[in-house]
Structure 1
Amino acid sequence: MSGGRRRGTASPALPLAPARARLRVLLPLPLAGAYDYGVPAGMVPPPPGSFVQVPLSGREMIGVVWDGEADPDLPERKLRDITHLLDVPPMTASLRKFVDWVAAYTVSPPGAVLRMAMSSPSALEPPMAKAGWRASAAGRAALARGTGLTGARQRVLETLEGELDGEAHLAATIAQRAGVSSGVLRGMADAGLLEPALIERAVEFPRPDLKRGGPELGEEQRVAGQALREAVAKKQFGVTLLSGVTGSGKTEVYLEAVAECLAQGRQALVLLPEIALSAQWLERFEARFGCQPALWHSELGSKRRRDTWRALAEGRVQALVGARSALFLPFPDLGLIVVDEEHETAFKQEEGVVYHARDMAVVRARLNEAACVLVSATPSLETLTNAETGRYAALDLPVRHGGATLPSVVAIDQRVTPPERGRFLSPPLVQAIRDAIGRGEQAMLFLNRRGYAPLTLCRTCGHRMRCPNCTAWLVEHRIQKRLQCHHCGHAEPIPPACPECGAEGSLTPLGPGVERVQEEAAELFPDARRLVMASDTLPGPAAAAEAARAIQAREVDLIIGTQIVAKGWHFPHLTLVGVVDADLGLAGGDLRAAERTVQLLHQVAGRAGRAEAPGQVLLQSWNPDHPVMQALISGDLAGFMAAEADQRRPGHWPPFGRLAALIVSAEDEREADTIARDLGIEAPGGDGVEVLGPAPAPLSMLRGRHRRRLLIKVRRDVPVQPILREWLSRVRVPASVKVQVDVDPVSFL
């Protein structure tokens, strides 16, 4: 039978639809990893780093096309398509590697780290456009003929086609450049000589002037600056520790490295621990380069954050100074990272993804083949150890710039000359302040404690005012007439009677806070012009800048401050620094308590005598023989740090070993105890591994959650992250319980 099909033979196979291209997309959510998505027909598969819009659980989200191959075994029917490719510069390969590295190191979901790199979602949207004007075809023809135009209209068209390159511009810009009124433009529009057009708004950031010379450097500064320039010019990774006494000109030296980086056409990032420090720093930068750098910190408005993020990604920002979060910004060609005051604990982020910006700055510099400079008058023991072992290069500036000398440091033994009853300033300190102000000089009182008093107690029943959400006492802020928790922010009015026994007028403040010192100073020095510098009184950079201006203009005689005054400031007429409670911070079993105290007090002391007049520092202490006090008095910080290292080395404590903490928290105390117990039962062991806990955290309740801690200590050669991942995988943690991982903890609260 012709034309028929033989029985039992297969029919010709229909052609299969080509499989969709698929790729991985990482979303800014605390998820385990990237999700697979399909590429719709007609779309060229976007390369890794592209910002894309994708569907997820009934909503649209923006993510980043991530590196690696999608799962080929995922059924096509389960694959959803990308919906939109965003017109944004793609995330660089180095930043994607950085996100993955930080996630692996901190044992965090990659998406949670990505969220920090997408900190300005509005920057991913198309730039906002404004209505403007440009020459119409009729206008250009009239200009070409050179007839029939008034002088004003002629100037407008010549300006648009010449000076303004034929592009659309705002009416105000055109009128100002052409020297005409807005009425001329309206008339030209009515005559058809101008036509409306949208202007894509791109905020311009000033370009530093590299031809400006910096201040005259001393010989040691010049040598150090040249060494940093050479390190940057290599365009390869390397870390340099720039140390030096306070006032030795470290900022001017590392600005030489910034200048070299900009000359190479690359971008520079400077990290500061406190954004309030930026006030005087920005003045120095502007004096050196003729403009201010871009800024990045939490006080920026959303509009400025969007403009800065976008301009940086497009390569229109050359230099940026910021807080620790600036590490995750989209630099297309990062050539230098400077970490100023590298020892500062403010560089450690304690919430969300827990990381130390100093350490992550070194990693980002390595991934970008960039130079990294760590700067401090009191380097951390970790950084000193890396310099001593040759991992970091080291430069030191041992003398103050411009002939200024280091201040003398003297301890006031409060056992011998205590303050008068009810006061907190000892007679020798009071007299020294009177003498300094009498000479027309400025003095500073330092107390690292905000508010009026750290504790409020009932004289009748002994009740202590405590935060309802935290294991912490409420701090009295007398100016605001409230009690406040400095951990969770809870605040309440000062009650007229004890809430426990009802006794009226029985609540008494105990101990000094900076407000109480200010009150005492007002009684002792009524004619002195006083200024309180604390985070309560200087809420942002603008307030800090105004305070610095007033001090430099000698409108202030006595500065009273917390740790915000300890570093970065240069006040030429400040000659006396008095530390009200030098022993504060030494109590408790904190591993780094002595190191942190000597760093803080040395920085405070460094504010004195930075110009011609010699400086003096007085430390009120109940234990002047303590090694910290003796190190400050002798100036032998190197010897102190060597002794610290000798104490930590035998027990493999950092930096000679590794620490990581697990912090278990839950609203239900029993749940917190149960999960902490289960983690303790499953605790890892083995050679070089030791687990301490579980135990209640010193702040056993924080923001309404009960907290338990476990601490793992390992030898330096034992990688701790795989141990942590295996440990956490053995315990099922309910959604109501949070287990936070803190690798390399700096706080043990």
Structure 2
Amino acid sequence: MHGHMNRVRLLVFNAAIGALDYKVPEGMTVEPGSVVLAPLGPRQITGIVWDEKRLPANDVPASKLRALVEVMPVPPLSAPLRRLIEWTADYYCAPMSAVARMVISSGGALNGPATMTEYRLSGGMPERMTPQREVAMEALEGEQATIRELAGIAGVSEGVLRGLVNQGVIEPVSVAIDRPFPPADPDYDIPELEPEQREVADRLNEAVKARTFAPFLLDGVTGSGKTETYFEPMAEAVRMGRQVLVLLPEIALTENFLKRFEARFGASPVLWHSSLKSTERRRAWRAIADGTAQVVVGARSALFLPYRNLGLIVVDEAHEVSFKQDDGVRYNARDVSVMRARFEGFPVVLASATPALESLQMAESGVYEKLDLHSRYGGAELPHIERIDLTEEKPGAGRWLAPRLVAALEDRLAKGEQSLLFLNRRGFAPLTLCRNCGFRFQCPNCSAWLVEHRLSRRLACHHCGHETQPPDACPECGEPDCLVACGPGVERIADEVAEILPEARVAIATSDTLNSPERAAQFIAEAESGAVDIIVGTQLVTKGFHFPELTLVGVVDADLGLEGGDLRAAERTYQQIAQVAGRAGRGAKPGEVFLQTRHPTAPVIAALADGDREAFYEAETEARRMVGAPPFGRWAAIIISSEDDAEAREAANRLGASRPKVDELMILGPAPAPLALLRGRYRYRFLVNARRSVELQRIITGWISGQNFAPGVRVGVDIDPYSFV
């Protein structure tokens, strides 16, 4: 480095400090990106040597600087990765230290190679045999693992095994934690692709070979074989000795993906998600950093790892809301993937059957190249979709399923085929409607729906704070006492099915019931083996599952998603229902889908029923252009929270009083957030809407940093928010 290389600036993982200067002791060499240990007060902290021009200076004289302690034995973070950290922090109004912490996400990995002790049978015999010892020795034949894992395998206590260790029957073995992962073989089982798939795969292979930035939108109907198609450019990257990252929206989905991956590449990929043990995380991190991890499959956090030579990113189900992080750094992994590919110069593939409106807009304007798969793989048909108008065909009192849907369920049960009842319930702010005519209460100021707050007995708008008394009778049809907070829960529907069809075997599939890869795998196995007749589920079931016997999908309340104070509500409803419809009739039997709705002519519902995606996207694009929603304008949410309600409210009002006056920028609020109390914190919210021309991040950062909030107050900024609760 340049002249005074005895002085360096560190980015440290403490947002309050940001940057610190240190001196480099004699004989130590560091470069920008080096991960180092430095003294801070009495302790030692980890930091990353940063490019000086890019971090605010501090004028500590050279004589006062303390010396770095050591350079950690990991490769320095590359310049493109440092630029990505800066870009993400700028765009999402987050501290750089918080973004960098996602890169160094395994503290243990920084200490260099390590070993752990595992145990295995030595071949010797114990002095005296007991039934438990016999069971254990039989079960552990050929096994090697930690004592705790072996105890689990053998079904005996750790004490039994320790006794065998003392007698030399089980021996310790020292294993490198960082042992290499089994290699993926790009030529293990090359599939016969259909001509349309071949053409897309060839175009992607070409892009991987070119080693330059190229963003693709892979748009294919559900069941068109997107996965097989993008496996080919992955194989191409592996042949070239480059790494591949595949991002999946839910870790519960990995099971099905892993099976397909192993069948294609003859080995498992390297996994990265929050349920990894620290030794697994450490092994994966080091293999990613030294380039030996070839294909990494993970949740959104895998995006920030320090890959040695990434050659391709695939974001599967790229429209998924779960790619957006809700706390900490509120980034969207889909968008940051594209930036990472741009900084490092390689192709990125966003794959989806129902792409986000923003992505389609990028393809239309020529920023992304769009590749299409129009036909279902192996000639399976897309399902037939029918509307059930709930104001005409009413379910019985206290029931949610209309007679025609019940009849269809009975028919499938008699034929031994499977049905799925879908509730797009989770993650929506509830709203209030009339149970007689379906009338919904709307805010006079900002067109969002009003929500009934039972506690304060008011109807409130969560965007601008407007409040009103709930009326005694419905203003539309005059029915008294008819207001209901919309929609049943999954359990309620499962109970109703049990009443109507007592002999049906029902499984509930939500992110709460399938909260681990094992549980998800068990559910899939049961559904595939036909041990389940009716699945009742939330949006988890819209994702990549493939059940050949599933021929009926009932959407219990197709209107639910159109409600709630959510800018992307219509789009999300369209995507979820199109995805869930795509679960039907994937095998040889054609599928049928029923949409229960009170608004059969709403653009979303009509587009779904007619299979006319273009019409829906056109109507939605127009509606968004009118209100300056993405992709035409930008939104940001600012959430102020505190454990003390008065303190949070006071901070919100004070921030509101100093709001910037800028043309083409509108600030709504402060209003109580829909989830006004979350994890013990009271929350108030501002919504900021700006035209594309406005420097939104700069204005927000300036506005907030001018405030002096009480210590208990937290301020979160969410750029391009997805969740409006």
TM range (shorter): 0.7 to 0.9
Q: 1:53: which partner in 2?
A: 37
1:653 and 1:131 map into 2 onto residues whose CA distance is: 56
| Structure 1 counterpart SS, 2:227 | helix
In structure 2, the partner of 1:335 is: 311
Match of 2:641 among 665, 671, 690: 665
Partner AA of 2:94 in structure 1? S
Specify the alignment match of 1:394 in structure 2.
370
Cα pair 1:23 1:36 within 8 Å, conserved: yes
Tell me which residue corresponds to 1:305: 281
Q: 1:635 aligns with which of 589, 611, 614?
A: 611
Q: Secondary structure at the match of 1:649?
A: helix
SS in 2 for 1:355: coil
Distance 1:588 1:199, change over 3 A: closer
Shift of 1:710: 1.7
Give 1:74's aligned residue: 60
Q: Closer, same or farther in 2 for the Cα pair 1:401/1:22, shift >3 Å?
A: same
Partner of 1:34: 19
Aligned to 1:100: 86
SS in 2 for 1:554: coil
Larger Rg belongs to: 1
**Aligned-pair CA distance for 1:382:** 0.6
Aligned partners of 2:579 and 2:696: how far apart in 1? 33
Q: Which letter does structure 2 place at the counterpart of 1:38? A: K
Q: Of the candidates 125, 128, 148, which is equivalent to residue 114 of structure 2?
A: 128
Q: Render the CA deviation track for 1:34-84: whole Å, top value 9, x for unaligned.
A: 2111112x3323112222111123211112111226958422343111112
Is 1:380 aligned to 2:356, yes or no?
yes
Q: Residue type matched to 1:370 in 2? A: F
Match of 2:191 among 215, 218, 233: 215
Q: Describe how 1:645-660 pairs up with structure 2 within 5 A.
A: 645-660=621-636
In the alignment, the residues of structure 2 paired with residue 634 and residue 172 of structure 1 have an alpha-carbon distance, to the nearest angstrom, of 57
Which residue of the partner structure matches residue 458 of structure 1? none
Number of aligned residue pairs: 625
Give the superposition deviation at 1:326: 0.6
Tell me, yes or no, if structure 1 residue 570 matches structure 2 residue 555. no
Give the aligned residue type for 1:120: S
Measure, in 2, the Cα distance between the counterparts of 1:72 and 1:270. 40
Question: For the residues of structure 2 that align with 1:23 and 1:713, how far apart are their CA atoms?
Answer: 40
Asked if 2 retains the 8 angstrom alpha-carbon contact of 1:518 and 1:532, the reply is: yes
Which whole-Å CA distance do the structure 1 matches of 2:289 and 2:375 have between them?
A: 40
- Paired-residue identity, %: 51
TM-score by length of 1: 0.79
Q: For the residues of structure 1 that align with 2:279 and 2:144, how far apart are their CA atoms?
A: 22
Compute the TM-score of the two structures, normalised by the length of structure 2.
0.82
Counterpart-to-counterpart distance in 1, 2:116 and 2:320: 44
Residue 480 of structure 2: aligned partner: none
1:492-533: CA deviations, max 9, x gaps? xxxxxxxxxxxxxxxx99962212222222232233332221
Matched, 1:444 2:430: no
Q: Is the 8 A contact 1:661 1:745 kept in 2?
A: yes
Larger deviation, residues 587-596 vs 26-35: 26-35
Q: How far off is 1:450 after superposition?
A: 6.9
For 2:396, the equivalent position in structure 1 comes to 420
Partner of 1:560: 536
Deviation of residue 571 (structure 1)?
1.0
Task: Determine the C-alpha separation between the residues in 2 that align with 1:582 and 1:257.
Answer: 37
SS in 2 for 1:687: coil
Relative to structure 1, is the Cα distance of residues 318 and 283 closer, same or farther in structure 2, using a 3 angstrom cutoff? same
Aligned to 1:349, what secondary structure does the other structure show? coil
Contact 2:217 2:351 in 1 (8 A): yes
* Distance change >3 Å, CA 368–CA 675, structure 1 → 2: same
Residue 524 (structure 2) aligns with? 548
For residues 53 and 407 of structure 1, what CA distance do their matches in structure 2 show?
A: 59
> SS at the partner of 2:208?
helix
Q: Which amino acid aligns with 2:6?
A: A
Contact 1:21–1:45, Cα closer than 8 Å, also in 2: no
Q: 2:247 aligns with which of 271, 287, 299?
A: 271
Give, in whole Å, the separation in 2 of the partners of 1:287 and 1:19: 55
Question: 2: CA distance between counterparts of 1:685 and 1:653?
Answer: 20
Within the candidate set 600, 603, 607, 2:576 is matched to 600
In the alignment, the residues of structure 2 paired with residue 522 and residue 21 of structure 1 have an alpha-carbon distance, to the nearest angstrom, of: 74
Give the RMSD, CA atoms, in angstroms.
2.8
Q: CA deviation at 1:216?
A: 2.2
- Counterpart amino acid of 1:92? S
Instruction: Give the whole-Å Cα distance in 2 for the aligned partners of 1:552 and 1:58.
Output: 58
Is the 2:383–2:582 contact (alpha carbons within 8 Å) kept by the matching residues of 1? yes
Q: 1:385 to 1:289 in 2, by over 3 A?
A: same
For 1:658 and 1:538, the matched residues in 2 are separated by 35
Cα distance in 2 for residues equivalent to 1:510 and 1:679: 34
Task: Confirm or deny: 8 A CA contact 1:31 1:110 kept in the other structure.
Answer: no
Q: Does 1:586 align with 2:571?
A: no
1:244 aligns with 2:220: yes
- Name the CA distance, whole Å, in 2 between partners of 1:98 and 1:276: 28
Structure 2: state its 5+ residue gaps: 119-141, 146-171, 432-451, 456-483
* Counterpart in the other structure of 1:487: none
* Amino acid of the structure 2 residue aligned with 1:28: F
Distance 1:294 1:390 in 2: 34
Distance change (3 Å), C-alpha of 1:731 and 1:439:
same
In structure 2, distance between residues paired with 1:626 and 1:72: 59
1:678 alignment counterpart: 654
Show the 5 A alignment for 1:464-543: 512-543=488-519
Determine if contact 1:277/1:568 at 8 Å carries over to the other structure.
yes
CA contact (8 A) 1:529 1:558 kept: yes
Distance 2:246 2:143 in 1: 38
Greater Cα offset, 196-205 or 727-736: 196-205
In the TM superposition, what whole-angstrom CA distance separates every residue of 1:676-703 from its partner, at most 9, and x where no partner exists? Answer: 2222222222332222222222222222
In structure 2, relative to structure 1, the CA distance for the partners of 1:388 and 1:32 (3 Å cut) is farther
Pairwise mapping of residues 135-214 of structure 1 onto structure 2 (< 5 A)?
200-214=176-190
Q: For the residues of structure 2 that align with 1:340 and 1:91, how far apart are their CA atoms?
A: 26
1:182 corresponding residue in structure 2:
none
Q: Is the contact between residue 128 and residue 200 of structure 1 (CA under 8 Å) also seen in structure 2? A: yes
- After alignment, is 70-79 or 586-595 more displaced? 70-79
SS in 1 for 2:9: strand
Q: For 1:420, what is the secondary structure of its paired residue? A: coil
Is the aligned partner of 1:431 residue 2:407? yes
Secondary structure of the corresponding residue to residue 87 of structure 1: coil
Equivalent residue for 2:72, pick from 86, 102, 124? 86
8 Å Cα contact 2:186/2:265 also seen in 1 = yes
Q: Secondary structure at the match of 2:257?
A: helix
Runs of 5+ consecutive residues of structure 1 not aligned to the other structure? 1-17, 133-169, 174-195, 456-470, 475-507
Q: Are the equivalent residues in 2 in contact too, given 1:682–1:730 (CA < 8 A)?
A: no
Deviation (angstroms), 1:672: 2.0
Which AA in structure 1 matches 2:610?
S
Residue matched to 1:500? none
| 2:672 match | 696
Q: Given the superposition, is the C-alpha separation of residues 417 and 46 from structure 1 closer, same or farther in structure 2, using an over 3 Å criterion?
A: same
Q: 1:117 — aligned with what?
A: 103
**SS of the residue aligned with 1:269?**
strand
d(CA) in 2 for partners of 1:652, 1:19: 50
Match of 1:740 among 708, 713, 716: 716
Write the letter of the residue equivalent to 1:689. Answer: L
Return the offset for 1:197: 11
Cα distance in 2 for partners of 1:450, 1:641 equals 24
CA-CA distance at 1:171 after TM superposition: 14
Q: CA deviation at 1:198?
A: 6.9
Contact kept, 8 Å, 1:28 with 1:118, in 2: the verdict is no
Residue by residue over 1:99-148, the C-alpha shift from the partner in whole angstroms, topping out at 9 and shown as x without a partner, is 1111111111111111111111111123223589xxxxxxxxxxxxxxxx
Question: Matched residues in 1 for 2:380 and 2:143: separation?
Answer: 55
